[in-house]
Structure formats: C-alpha cells, structure tokens
C-alpha cells in the first residue's frame, strides 16, 4: 500500500512537471513563431523599401527643397549652356507663403538658341511657371542669322518644398 501511494505521488509529481514543461514549451513556441513572423515582416518591408528606392529618388528629384536651391540655379545655367545661350541669374526670391520660389534670369544668344532654352525649361523635371518674359533684340543691326537676342524670364518654381 505504501509503495502504491508513493508511486501515485511520484506519478502525480511527474505528471504535474510534464504539464508545466508543456506550458513552457508552448509559450516558447508562440514566442518563436511571433519572432519568426516579425523577421518575415521585416524582410518583406526591406524588400519593399528596396523596390521603391529608385522611384523615391526619382520622385524627390522633381522637388527642390528650400535648403537646396543652388543646384536648381545651376541647372538653369546648365540648360542655357546646353541650348547655346549665356544665362545669368538676376534675382531669387521666396514667396511669402513659402509655396514657390521666384527666379529672375537673363539669357542672351541667337533666337534659335533662346527658343531651345525655353523648350529645355519647359521639359525640365520641375514644375515651372513663366510669370514674366521680356525678349528684345540685343543688337540693332539688320536681320541676319547672327543676331543676338536677350530674354529676361521671371520663373516660378512650383515644385518647391519648404
């Protein structure tokens, strides 16, 4: 009888320990699955970020930040140089509501090169609005293919971020 009671007590103790160990194992398995799911989600987010990285760079290239105005001005001068004109930035002004950047520039060259400069500005990746335009013949000579023209443009950069 004593042996039977001792055996029942030992079996009860072992059964209780097995139940506790099962609960610990189940909790560890739940934690492991949660961590595995988090790792899969992180890998998925990482792949998503890598896939949209090029598009993000392209999107950001269409906007100019207020702290990054100089490269935009250099782009205007480069477009003028590509068109065969000489450009000079006359004034840069920030709108009162910080929604746009106003740039006043002067370009000189042949009529064709000035027209090409205007086309390049129109096709630039930035949203521009020509607020003012004043175009005059710089030299007063007879009509010839070598005439020099001058244009003063008031450009508003609409794709501007404060």
Going by pLDDT thresholds of 50, 70 and 90, the confidence category of residue 75 is confident
Q: Which of 122, 129, 70 is nearest to 99 (CA)?
A: 129
pLDDT, tens digit, for every residue of 16-54? 999 999 999 999 999 999 999 999 999 999 999 998 988
**pTM of the predicted structure, to 2 decimals:** 0.61
């Amino acid at each position: 009888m004593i042996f039977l009671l001792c055996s029942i007590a030992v079996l009860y103790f072992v059964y209780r320990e097995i139940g506790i160990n099962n609960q610990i194992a189940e909790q560890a398995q739940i934690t492991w699955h949660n961590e595995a799911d988090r790792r899969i989600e992180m890998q998925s987010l990482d792949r998503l970020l890598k896939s949209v990285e090029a598009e993000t760079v392209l999107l950001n290239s269409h906007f100019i930040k207020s702290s990054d105005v100089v490269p935009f001005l250099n782009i205007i001068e480069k477009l003028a140089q590509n068109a065969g004109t000489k450009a000079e930035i006359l004034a840069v002004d920030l709108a009162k509501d910080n929604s746009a950047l106003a740039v006043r520039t002067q370009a000189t060259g042949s009529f064709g090169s000035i027209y090409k400069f205007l086309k390049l500005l129109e096709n630039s990746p930035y949203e521009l609005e020509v607020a003012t335009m004043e175009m005059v013949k710089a030299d007063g000579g007879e009509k010839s293919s070598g005439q020099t023209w001058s244009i003063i443009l008031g450009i508003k950069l609409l794709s501007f971020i404060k």
